Chains A and B, each alone.
Chain A
Amino acid sequence: MTQLKNPARRNFMKSSAAVGGSLVIGVTLPDAFRGMAYAASESAVNAWIRVGSDNSITILCARSEMGQGVVMALPTLVAEELEVDLSKIKVDFAPPGEVYINGMLGGQITGGSTSVRDGWEKLRIAGAQARMMLVSAAAQKWGVDASTLKAGNGWVTGPGGKKASYGSLAEAASKLTPPKDVALKDPSKFRYVGKPLHRMDTADKIRGKTIYGIDVKLPGMLYASLAQCPVIGGKVVSVDDAKAKSMPGVKHVVKITDGVAVVADTWWQARTARDTLSITWDEGPGKALNSESISAGLAAAMSSPGATIKAQGSVADGMKAAAKTVEATYEMPFLSHSPLEPMNFTADVRKDSALLIGSIQFQQLALGMAAAITGLKPEQITVKTTFLGGGFGRRIDCDYMAQAVEISKITGVPVKLVWTREDDMTHDFYRPISHTQMSAGLDASGKPTALSFKMSSPSVTSRLFPPLVKDGVDPLMTEAILVPYDIPNQSVATVIHDTGLRVGYLRSVSHALNVFANESFIDEMAAAAGKDPYEYRLSLLEKQPRFANVLKLAAKEAGWGKPLPKGHARGIGLMEGYDTYMSQVTEVSVVDGQIKVHRVVVAVDLGRMVNPNIVRQQLESNIVFGLTAALYGNITLKDGRVEQTNFHQYKLLRMPETPKIEMHIVNSTEKPGGIGEPGMALLSPTVANAVYALTGKRLRKMPLSLA
């Protein structure tokens, strides 16, 4: 697959470079409509809005819905300015198209907590532009000035009782030139934006009606199960498939780049027959990988100078002036994404066309890879995105899609490939492992004189978007790497160290690594200074009002300093991620040597919100996700094999372990921040800091354990 993937990625990078960073307004580019199926009775006013002659309004959602609520939040932004009844609109997922590129990421990618930040103006402009075109169409029809007309609830009204529905105007409106100057509503006039509305996707989700990738069915479709090398990257040398071919329902056994696929009438038949394959693998260099040697490699990489992220003053002078010094090394493991819907994909590859349907986070990569594999032109390929049963970054990679495309191409039939949970856990693109060394000097009063930070870790960006890594700096490795604290002399460096295991972006990406180190270490500094960890942080935040504000709010609401039940303690931490400022207080106890988390209080300032209800969902989600990482998450390797295969070995937080969660959101008119990811990063340091307060023991290695 390597040979195929790379050209596709290079092509993608070229095309995305042209549009990266620019704000693309919803004008009618021909490319935007490729693959977009709409009824003859509908008119597309622009790339985001289709209006039916029956007055139905369909808003396109160009980001993948994986739980974070974009299917509600993004259409809300369009509908606000379009002036339609939000409860009556329909939502469709957009096809790949340049117009749908995420301006913050340079590709049609759902990630980086960017969906609302990227869409905040763009989607309101799209809605306003379409509304103005509908009004202009009415003005032309009635021969009046557009300024005398009003739009509301899907109708244009004018003097003398004139009234026309959007549906009756859409065809004429779609032929008009989109207006260049668009005035957006004053936020005080918002009807939907900022309101805690119910999600529109809930009704189907509680009735089992939502279609995820795994639920797709095509006429004549067969099911595939794929045996992949237990060592990632290994290749098939030979296969004995005689038994499998004789089993009921089995139609094909085919060798593809990543392994051997069994294709049968039902998935269970395919999966059962797959177990009878006898495959000889060339395991490749990956077979030498072991957790011990990987960890030793990361430690050794620390001796490399790495890339300087920040150099302020002189750390050497600051350390010389110090009355006391503090040092610590923090270790974070590989993690698995483990969305509950295992990787799967449906492909129907024909001579002159291909249909691809499934759960993906990166539509153009899917399109580019499929074109490279099939030899078809992009315009011959239709990509449809379904709802995702979780993503967390896993579905930015399209390996499973490529496999389904290969299988369909070889067999000539529509195929749904479904991985087992074991396939999923052992063939992930894992959250990078890391080591972080920190040291600090404190003066006689406990005030910091110097801080040094150095981490070694593999780089996801080097694999996925190599041109973005310049001078040894992966810009995504440096998220939250700089402390907000007022410290005169600082040195911050990163060392990119490839461990040999493939890595991928996972929710909160490097925030989780860097916030664990930074917020644990400031706690160690406070302890060395003999200060309260809250007061100590606050004393260093005079120039950081948004940080100080959330810190104070979290401490106040959590009752910082107030008595707790015997055997309980609190830990505190703060962070900024995706333009969102957060602070958290976590209360723990230790029961039979196990850490138990009782209560999490989070204070957040994320600027303006589209939907506070979804914001709260995401805060809760991040706390549970972050606790899983803090207490359990650990992918280990032996002889190149991932040792965890299912949820008995890779534990995820369950109902009885879920703490009480309290959320406090700052009323803010700052520009919107992202909320899908940042919160999870605060669980590990706040739990570790609470355990220290309780036991005097510093936990510097994740997952956190007193054993």
Chain B
Amino acid sequence: MASLDINGKAREVNADPNTPLLWVIRDSLGMTGTKFGCGAQLCGACTVHLDGKPVRSCGTPLSAAIGKKVTTIEGIGATEAGKKVQAAWASLDVPQCGYCQSGQIMSATALLAEKPKPTDADIDNAMAGNICRCGTYPRIRAAIHQAAGGKGA
């Protein structure tokens, strides 16, 4: 049994410490907002925060998350940046199929927490690891600017 601090709550999990955090979150804890896309840290659908930093949970073992604060899409709305990002996402109708959007929002929130006024180049850098097969990139860019209170609003 290991104790995981997830979205501000302590949760006991019974899983091999080498199990990717993604599957602990999805299958052991039943929180399905975090998505499986590639299993190889190539698409970003599984992005969560460890102590506020974005990580690909498909390539992060459970053991690496113990003792850290894990934040997922289910908890990100409780943060200031997360709330703004979700509001901008809604106002610009970013999602299409929506499957990658949890990961997109987690990456965008981490960016805004670090750089409240990101440039287009900052957005390129921070979001390049998140694939959207529906092609919502133009709206993601505009929504990040809007959440930052700047252009694109």
Interface residues of A (CB under 8 A from B): 65-69, 198-199, 201-212, 214-215, 217, 223, 248, 266-268, 338-342, 387-392, 418, 420-422, 613, 617, 620-625, 646-648, 652-656, 658, 660-661
Residues 62-110 (chain B) with a chain A CB within 8 angstroms = 72-74, 77, 86, 89-90, 93-102, 105
- Given A646-B42, A655-B130, residue A201 in contact with residue B95 (CB < 8 A): yes
Task: Determine which residue in B27, B86, B128 has the highest number of CB atoms from chain A within 10 A of its CB, and name it.
Answer: B27
Docked complex Cα distance between A202 and B30 (Å):
22
Q: Is the CB of A209 within 8 A of B38?
A: no
- Beyond A340-B132, A390-B97, A421-B43, 8 additional contacts (C-beta under 8 Å) are A199-B95, A207-B73, A340-B35, A389-B99, A390-B134, A391-B97, A646-B39, A647-B43
User: If A206-B89, A266-B15, A421-B40 touch, does A621 touch B33 (CB 8 Å cutoff)?
Assistant: no
**Partner among A199, A208, A248 whose Cβ is within 8 Å of the Cβ of B34:** A208
Inside 8 A of A214's CB, which chain B residues have their CB?
Answer: 32, 35-36
Q: Are A202 and B89 in contact (CB under 8 A)?
A: yes
- Collect the chain B residues with CB atoms within 8 Å of residue A206's CB: 86, 89-90, 94-95, 98, 101, 105
Which B residue sits closest to A268, measured CB to CB?
B23
B residues sitting closer than 8 Å to A (CB atoms) are 15-16, 19-20, 23, 26-28, 30-40, 42-43, 45, 72-74, 77, 86, 89-90, 93-102, 105, 123-125, 127-128, 130-141
Q: Which residues of B sit under 8 angstroms from A341, Cβ to Cβ?
A: 35, 37, 97, 99
- When C-beta atoms are compared, the residue in chain B nearest to A422 turns out to be B39
- Check if A655 sits within 8 Å of B135, measured CB to CB: no
**Chain B: interface secondary structure?**
loop
Selected contact of A67 from candidates B38, B98, B105, B141, CB within 8 Å: B98
Given contacts A621-B135, A647-B43, A654-B131, contact A69 B96 (CB under 8 A): yes
Asked whether A340 lies within 8 Å of B23 as measured between CB atoms, the reply is: no
Kindly report which residue of chain B lies nearest to residue A198, judged by CB atoms: B93
Closest 3 CB pairs of A and B: A208-B33, A624-B135, A389-B99
**Given A212-B99, A655-B124: A267 touches B27 (CB 8 Å cut-off):** yes
Residues of B contacting A646 in the complex (Cβ-Cβ under 8 angstroms): 38-40, 42
In the complex, how many angstroms separate the beta carbon of A412 from the nearest chain B beta carbon?
21
Question: Which chain B positions have C-beta within 8 A of A68?
Answer: 96
Is the CB–CB distance between B134 and A655 below 8 Å? no
In the complex, how many angstroms separate the beta carbon of B18 from the nearest chain A beta carbon? 9
A67 in contact with B134 (CB, 8 Å): yes
22 pairs, CB–CB < 8 Å, chain A vs chain B: A66-B97, A67-B97, A207-B74, A207-B77, A210-B98, A215-B32, A223-B27, A266-B15, A266-B19, A268-B15, A268-B20, A339-B133, A340-B97, A389-B97, A421-B43, A621-B136, A623-B135, A624-B132, A647-B42, A652-B133, A653-B137, A655-B123
A207-B73, A389-B35 as given contacts; A338 in contact with B133, CB under 8 Å: yes
Complex Cα spacing A390 to B40, Å? 19
Q: Which of B97, B102, B127 contacts A655 (CB 8 A)?
A: B127
Contacts of B93 in A (CB 8 A): 198-199, 202, 613, 617
| Cα–Cα distance between A681 and B86 once the two chains are bound (Å) | 32
CB distance A205 to B27 under 8 Å? no
Whether B38 and A647, one on each chain, are in contact in the complex, defined by CB atoms closer than 8 angstroms, is yes
Bound: A208/B42 CA distance, A? 20
Contact A340 B99 (CB under 8 A): yes
Q: How far is the CA of A207 from the CA of B86 in the complex (A)?
A: 8
A3 to chain B, nearest CB (A): 32
- Cβ distance A465 to chain B, nearest Cβ, rounded Å: 26
Q: B37, A421: Cβ atoms under 8 Å?
A: yes
- B137 contacts A658, CB within 8 Å? yes
Give CA–CA (A100, B46) in the complex, Å: 35
A340-B40 contact in complex given A268-B23, A656-B124, C-beta closer than 8 Å: no
Q: Are B128 and A655 in contact (CB under 8 A)?
A: yes
**A199 contacts which chain B residues (CB < 8 A)?**
93, 95
B97 — nearest CB in chain A belongs to which residue?
A: A67
Nearest-neighbour CB distance to chain B for A555, whole angstroms, equals: 22
Contact B135 A267 (CB under 8 A): no
**Inter-chain contact A653/B34, CB cutoff 8 Å:** no
Asked if residues B23 and A266 are in contact (CB atoms below 8 Å), the reply is yes
| A205 engages B101 (CB within 8 Å) | yes
Which residues on A sit within 8 Å (CB–CB) of B19?
266, 268
B40 contacts A209, C-beta separation under 8 Å: no
Chain A residue nearest to B32 in the complex (CB)? A215
The smallest C-beta distance from A210 to any residue of chain B, in angstroms, reads: 6
List chain A residues, Cβ under 8 A from B35. Answer: 212, 214, 340-341, 389
Contact residues in A for B94 (Cβ distance below 8 Å): 202, 206
A-chain residues with CB within 8 Å of residue B39 when the two chains form the complex: 420-422, 646
